[in-house]
């Protein structure tokens, strides 16, 4: 990698050359035929790893498309994150467990088919059933009958969820397995999108060219390279597309996408590569976005390992947290694209949604003296040293892991107390987590599914929860979460979750490191570009000149 800084410096020198030409429109500085179609946004894309089906897409790149071609019962306001009714006219419940959902009149799929209650019920039944191997099947786990269509082992004993009933064309009822007051707000997630008959009747054809009911429709899709979406003129919702369409182009390397943006061959990159962050302001000026996204990075402790677990070791875990100089690392390494975390949620929730900066208290404040004292009082690091495990294949985690270790080492005045432990591939890393093979804190990133405080706590720290990789278990925490879920109004529910969060602050099963921002850069052709809470550009609002 010795050549890398050299090439970067060269780029800078060369950028100056180009600077003279920047006075002209950006395209003049760029190469040949950009192939810009009037009114169409050319945007970078990553190849989705899974087939593009609503209940099968769990990555940002696939979610980007689904957000353009589908509208579910709810939709999250891209600015406030509030779950607003999209296709739902009303969602009612007297007991937070039985819900009656009524759809808006006259909504259709792009192929003319009516969106009915059955469009939702069929789609959810499809997503939940184990035979379809949908990656997001567990989103339906709160609906009654899920264990029959998706048993932990063996063949399913039912084909449909018993908790779903179609009443009439526009009404259906849902019965949940437990009280879940904020459940309606989760319905903006893509997995809950309705599906047209075409999806079930000719599945292969649908995958080649998905049909939905959102502001855009797919014109053509060459898998692995480009998807062309065009605004759907018949879209009746309030968030109609303000441009003529979006071309999503697959890039393997975000550096190339960035170069293409500079050359005028691309209008929008929503992942500015780390190497370019230093120069992005001078390259793009105010056409660079850097705003909070619903992602938090933590260092999670293996609570199954006796060296790290138990309330007695809480001092040690808190001490390590206090030994991390978050402010310096987010500035030096991330150039302000991360913000030091002081709770376990995300700023995108806003205070109304349960984000509470400072909830972590002193334990998330850099304090070398107290950190050293706490760790000493707890008997020092187990065996005198610790490792931070991370996957080395994506996301350049090495830099910050080394920086965190440096910070800990400086506090402990021992150069070899903390070292990073890379794992070759992400899959292997996940397998190590699942196999309880972590011997020290490990990197964990959480990207929210929906902007709710529940989503930042329950799946991660509830006993036996799906993403509780540290195997943290605390009866007090579980009880508070249950109470919050059963609360009949938003206010008490959120307060309940925050009380549960305070238990995390005491026990520190996972150290909050920083909130991650979404970043994007765009060309002069575009205006009114913004990112939503999921760090996805709000395509429908973009104007093209």
Site for another protein in 225-264 (CB under 8 A): 225-226, 249-253, 255-257, 259-260, 262-263
DSSP string over 377-419:
HTTSSGGG-EEEEEESSSTTHHHHHHHHHHHHHHHHT-TTSEE
Helix (H) or strand (E) holding 53: none
176 close to 142: Cβ distance less than 8 angstroms: yes
Nearer to another protein, 17 or 312 (CB): 17
* 43 binds another protein per the rule CB under 8 A: no
29 binds another protein (CB under 8 A): yes
30 binds another protein per the rule CB under 8 A: yes
Give φ, ψ of 167 to 5 degrees. Answer: -90, -55
Determine contact, residues 271/252, Cβ cutoff 8 Å: no
Q: How many CB atoms lie within 10 A of CB 132?
A: 16
Nearer to another protein, 182 or 516 (CB): 516
Q: Which of 38, 94, 312, 434 binds another protein (CB under 8 A)?
A: 434
Side-chain-facing half-sphere of 455: CA atoms under 13 Å: 22
Closest CA to 292 of 68, 459, 514: 514
**Closest approach of another protein to the CB of residue 30, in Å:** 5
Is 80 strand, coil or helix?
Answer: coil
Beta strands at 386-391 and 418-423: parallel, antiparallel or unpaired: parallel
Neighbours of 524 (CB within 10 A): 14
Please select the residue that binds another protein; options are 201, 286, 311, 394, rule is CB under 8 A: 394
- If the CB atoms of residues 32 and 311 are measured against another protein, the closer one turns out to be 32
In the complex, the smallest distance separating the C-beta of residue 189 from another protein, rounded to whole angstroms, is 13
Contact flag: residue 331 with another protein (CB under 8 A):
no
Q: Write the CB contacts of 88 (distance below 8 Å, at least 6 apart in sequence).
A: 73, 74, 101, 102, 103, 104, 184, 187
User: How many degrees, rounded to 5, is the angle at CA 25 between CA 22 and CA 28?
Assistant: 80
Tell me which of 38, 106, 153, 369 binds another protein, using CB under 8 A.
153
Number of residues that bind another protein (CB under 8 A): 75
Give the residue, chosen from 105, 159, 219, 223, that forms a contact with another protein under the rule CB under 8 A. Answer: 223
Q: How far is the CB of 407 from another protein (least distance, A)?
A: 24
Contact residue for another protein among 25, 31, 358, 491 (CB under 8 A) = 31
User: Residue 192 or 235: which CB sits closer to another protein?
Assistant: 192
d(CA 235, CA 382): 60
Quick one: which of 427, 476, 488, 491 contacts another protein (CB under 8 A)? 427
φ/ψ (deg, to 5) at 5? -60, -35
Is residue 158 near another protein by the rule CB under 8 A?
no
Min CB(264)–another protein separation in Å: 8
- Residue in 379, 445, 476, 491 binding another protein, rule: CB under 8 A: 445
If one asks whether residue 186 binds another protein (CB under 8 A), the answer comes out as no
Span near another protein by CB under 8 A; candidates 211-219, 332-340, 348-356, 459-467: 459-467
In the region spanning residues 396 to 425, those forming contacts with another protein, defined by CB under 8 A, are: 424-425
One residue of 74, 97, 107, 150 binding another protein per CB under 8 A? 150
Region from 235-243, 345-353, 402-410, 443-451 binding another protein, contact rule CB under 8 A: 443-451
**Measured from the CB of residue 162, what is the shortest distance to another protein in angstroms?**
18
Contacts of another protein in 106-135 (CB under 8 A): 130-131, 133-135
Pick from 67, 267, 469, 474 the residue near another protein by CB under 8 A. 469
Nearer to another protein, 103 or 457 (CB): 457
d(CA 320, CA 248): 43
Angle at 18 between CA 15 and CA 19, to 5 degrees: 85
Torsion of CA 204, 208, 212, 218, to 10 degrees: -170
């Amino acid at each position: 990698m010795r050549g890398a800084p050299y090439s970067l410096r060269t780029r800078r020198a060369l950028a100056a050359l180009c600077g003279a030409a920047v006075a002209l429109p950006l395209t003049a500085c760029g190469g040949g035929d950009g192939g810009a179609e009037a009114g169409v946004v050319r945007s970078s894309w990553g190849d989705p790893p899974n087939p593009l089906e609503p209940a099968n897409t769990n990555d940002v790149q696939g979610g980007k498309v689904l957000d353009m071609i589908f509208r579910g019962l709810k939709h999250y306001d891209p600015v406030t994150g509030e779950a607003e009714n999209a296709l739902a006219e009303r969602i009612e419940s007297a007991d937070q467990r039985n819900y009656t959902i009524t759809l808006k009149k006259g909504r259709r799929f792009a192929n003319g088919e009516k969106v009915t209650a059955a469009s939702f019920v069929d789609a959810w039944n499809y997503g939940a059933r184990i035979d379809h191997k949908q990656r997001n099947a567990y989103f339906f786990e709160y609906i009654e009958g899920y264990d029959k269509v998706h048993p932990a082992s063996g063949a399913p004993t039912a084909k449909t969820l018993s908790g779903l009933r179609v009443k009439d064309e526009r009404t259906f009822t849902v019965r949940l397995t437990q009280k879940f007051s904020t459940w309606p707000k989760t319905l903006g997630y893509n997995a809950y999108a309705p599906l047209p008959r075409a999806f079930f009747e000719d599945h292969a054809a649908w995958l080649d060219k998905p049909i939905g009911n959102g502001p855009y429709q797919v014109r053509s899709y060459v898998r692995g390279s480009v998807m062309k979406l065009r605004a759907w003129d018949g879209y009746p919702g309030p968030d109609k597309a303000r441009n003529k369409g979006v071309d999503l182009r697959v890039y393997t390397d975000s550096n190339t996408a960035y170069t293409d943006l500079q050359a005028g061959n691309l209008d929008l990159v929503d992942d500015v590569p780390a190497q370019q962050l230093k120069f992005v302001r001078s390259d793009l000026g105010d056409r660079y976005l850097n705003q909070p996204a619903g992602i938090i990075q933590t260092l999670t402790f293996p609570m199954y390992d006796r060296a790290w677990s138990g309330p007695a070791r809480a001092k040690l875990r808190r001490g390590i947290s206090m030994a991390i100089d978050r402010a310096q690392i987010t500035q030096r390494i991330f150039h302000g694209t991360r913000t030091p975390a002081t709770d376990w949620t995300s700023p995108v929730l806003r205070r109304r949604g349960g984000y509470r900066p400072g909830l972590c208290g002193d334990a998330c404040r850099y304090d070398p003296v107290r950190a050293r004292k706490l760790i000493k009082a707890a008997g020092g690091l187990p065996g005198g040293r610790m490792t931070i495990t991370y996957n080395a294949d994506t996301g350049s985690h090495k830099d910050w892991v080394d920086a965190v270790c440096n910070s800990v080492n400086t506090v402990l005045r021992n150069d070899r107390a903390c070292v990073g432990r890379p794992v070759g591939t992400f899959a292997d890393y996940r397998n190590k987590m699942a196999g309880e093979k972590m011997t020290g804190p490990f990197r964990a990133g959480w990207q929210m599914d929906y902007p709710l405080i529940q989503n930042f706590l329950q799946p991660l720290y509830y006993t036996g929860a799906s993403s509780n990789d540290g195997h943290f278990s605390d009866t007090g925490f579980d009880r508070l979460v249950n109470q919050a879920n059963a609360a009949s109004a938003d206010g008490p529910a959120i307060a309940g979750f925050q009380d549960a969060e305070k238990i995390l602050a005491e026990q520190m099963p996972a150290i909050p490191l920083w909130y991650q921002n979404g970043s994007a850069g765009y060309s002069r052709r575009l205006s009114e570009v913004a990112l939503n809470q999921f760090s996805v550009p709000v395509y429908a609002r973009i104007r093209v000149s």
